[in-house]
Chains A and B, each alone.
Chain A
Amino acid sequence: MVYYYFVCQRKLWFFSRHYTMEDNSELVSMGKLIDETSYKREKKNILIDEEINIDFLKDWKVIHEVKKSRKVNEASKWQLKYYIWLLRNKGVEIEKGVLDYPLLRKREDVFVSEKDGKDLNEILDKIDEIRSLKIPPVISTKGICKKCAYYELCYI
């Protein structure tokens, strides 16, 4: 949800109300492929609180998130920060997060500051607000719509 909050709030609304789209886009199958072939030996896809789905943990200290491209870097970063923050609140001593871009052969470390923690609280409140809207938020295009699975639903 944090991720969608940064990507598109309208998408967040649809997603939170289970208006999911068929997962037949190439993007999704690409994601699957990465997931299945890279990082074979690590613990993968740990589901916590039925909400966050972490790609894998190393000794419960580092959270990795595997991403395809850096296009939604900001959103990915905040999503990861949220995971770290949430796990810390549960008493797990997470040191840092790592964003992995296997296709670009790049990595990026992510840390959570105290200020981030406060911001996250606010973000979560805003997410709750958006979710409880009666109708979806209006389109506030950022040029990502054309590739979004909700494109037809939004623009028809």
Chain B
Amino acid sequence: MGETFYIFQDGQLKRKDNNIVMSTLSGQKKNLKSEVTDEIYIFGEIETNSKLLNFLSQQKTTMHIFNYYGFYSGSFYPRESNVSGHLLVNQVKKYDNTEERVRIAKEMLKSAAHNIYRNLRYYNGRGTDVESAMKDIQRLIKRLDYCASIHELMGTEGNIRKIYYSTWNAIVKQDIRFEKRKKRPPDNLINSLLSFVNSLIYTTVLSEIYKTQLNPTISYLHEPGTKRFSLSLDIAEIFKPLIGERMIFSLLNKNQITEQDFEKESNYLYLKEAGKKKILIEYDQRLKRTLFHKGLGREVSYRYLIRLECYKLIKDIIDEKQYDGFKIWW
């Protein structure tokens, strides 16, 4: 598995011979070994050229770009090199078959909701009383089973998330004093964190999809191809609780991220560079965490769990085995 580089500085990113070289304005140079580079995240202001993009495409490296405020702008997604006409045709057919589409979308949401439930159970077992929320969510998970359309599924999912968010005040122990200070809605701080972290998960999923034959624009839960690579949104839904939200809770509860990491004037909308860096370091470490996968009989990383999700979808799409979404099992 290749490496991920996060670039914060301003400067130039160029191809030099068979390497990718980052040179900063102050004259420093860093060599990103191209053979092992899977992904590049750009947070700084970078000058580059088509020579580099061509090279990235050749090396099958994806590049994700964030703007000055840390909002996701888009990805350089190299020309697909792993295409299977067979899979594409069947991926579309599945989408087009309402029953099949709803079945897959439902399984995705059930997995996501299960993972949300597990997060609550974890904190409930550690002295935060979120029991009633857990019960409500359990009830809604059962209701997912009876949803017959994507629309209903989405509605129920919205309710699950609403209940989930309502517990965050209790889960987050940091002295942000959410409710007390009306003038600075704490929601903003959490929302800023969430949207930043969600965009990271989205890009990671996208990079994993790229390594398979799946087409990222054909999705089941989200409407395909609108604005974003919607299959990435589908799969991200499942991993947000495990990879993103657990991290947010931990960062806040350990006071690794505090109000100081946000620009006060922006009403906590804007994460400072130091804050973004802290999050990325933690995020990167979490993706590398491994656990033993019983079914496979080997260790897999959190990141690889995402790839496995792609494989499970492929097997459903070719009608070999029905999709069974990832559910936290430990």
Q: How far is the CB of B310 from chain A (nearest CB, A)?
A: 9
B1 at the interface (CB under 8 A from A): yes
Interface locus among B19-27, B64-72, B79-87? B79-87
CB-nearest residue of chain B to A16: B86
Q: Chain A interface: which of B178-186, B187-195, B271-279, B312-320? A: B312-320
Known: A156-B295, A156-B296. A18 touches B213 (CB 8 A): yes
Chain A contacts with B in 136-156, Cβ cutoff 8 A: 136, 151-153, 155-156
- Stretch of A19-27, A64-72, A93-101 contacting B (4+ beta carbons < 8 Å): A19-27
- The answer to the question of A135 belonging to the interface, with a C-beta cut-off of 8 Å to chain B, is yes
Q: A156 and B320 in contact (CB under 8 A), knowing A18-B213, A20-B82, A22-B211?
A: no
**A-side contacts of B315, CB under 8 Å:** 153, 156
Say whether A134 faces chain B, with CB atoms less than 8 Å apart. yes
Would you give the shortest CB distance from B78 to chain A, in whole angstroms?
13
Q: Which residue of A lies closest to B213 (CB)?
A: A19
* B308 with A19: CB separation less than 8 A: no
Let me know if B283 is at the binding interface, CB within 8 A: no
A107 at the interface (CB under 8 A from B): no
Give the chain A neighbours of B85 by CB distance below 8 A. Answer: 18
Question: A17 to chain B: which residues have CB within 8 Å?
Answer: 84, 86-87
Q: How far is the CA of A19 from the CA of B315 in the complex (A)?
A: 11
Contacts of A24 in B (CB 8 A): 1-2
Q: How far is the CA of A19 from the CA of B211 in the complex (A)?
A: 11
Band of interface residues on A: 10 to 19
Q: Is B15 an interface residue (CB 8 A)?
A: no
Shortest C-beta distance, A138 to chain B (Å), equals 9
Query: Across the two chains, which residue of chain B brings its CB closest to A151?
Result: B296
Closest chain A residue, CB of each to CB of B318:
A135
Question: Is A134's CB under 8 angstroms from B311's CB?
Answer: no
Q: Determine if B308 and A152 form an interchain contact, defined as CB atoms under 8 angstroms apart.
A: yes
A125 to B260, CA, bound (A): 70
Closest to A22 in B: B211
Q: Does B307 contact A (CB under 8 A)?
A: yes
Please give, as numbers and ranges, the residues of chain B lying within 8 Å of A151 by CB-CB distance: 296
Does the CB pair B84–A19 fall under 8 Å? Answer: yes
Min CB distance B39 to A, Å, is: 14
- Taking the nearest CB of chain A, how far is it from the CB of B68, in angstroms? 34
Contact status of A155 and B296, CB under 8 A, knowing A17-B86, A18-B86: yes
Q: Kindly identify, within residues 19 to 77 of chain B, every residue whose CB is under 8 Å from any CB belonging to chain A.
A: none
Q: Given the interface contacts A152-B311, A156-B311, does A18 sit within 8 Å of B319 by beta carbon?
A: no
Other-chain contact of A152, B1, B87, B296 (Cβ < 8 Å):
B296
> Which residue, of B85, B87, B211, B320, has the highest number of chain A Cβ atoms within 10 A?
B320
CB distance from B216 to the nearest CB of A (A): 16
Residues on B with beta carbons closer than 8 Å to the beta carbon of A22: 82, 211
Complex contacts, B82 vs chain A, CB 8 Å: 18, 20, 22
Within 8 A of A (CB), among B125-155: none
A153 to B308, CA, bound (A): 7
Q: In the complex, which residues 3-44 of chain A have their Cβ closer than 8 Å to any Cβ of chain B?
A: 17-20, 22, 24
Question: Which chain B residue has the least Cβ–Cβ distance from A14?
Answer: B84
From A138, which residue of chain B is reached at the shortest CB distance? Answer: B320
Q: Which residues of B contact A134 (CB under 8 A)?
A: 319
Residue of A nearest to B210 (CB): A22
Q: Which B residue's beta carbon lies closest to that of A153? A: B311
The B179-222 residues at the A interface (CB cut-off 8 A) are 211, 213
Give me 10 other A-B pairs in contact (C-beta within 8 A), A18-B85, A134-B319 excluded. A17-B84, A18-B82, A20-B213, A22-B82, A24-B2, A135-B318, A135-B320, A152-B307, A156-B295, A156-B312
A-B contact pairs, 8 of them (CB 8 A): A18-B83, A19-B314, A22-B211, A24-B1, A24-B2, A151-B296, A153-B315, A156-B311
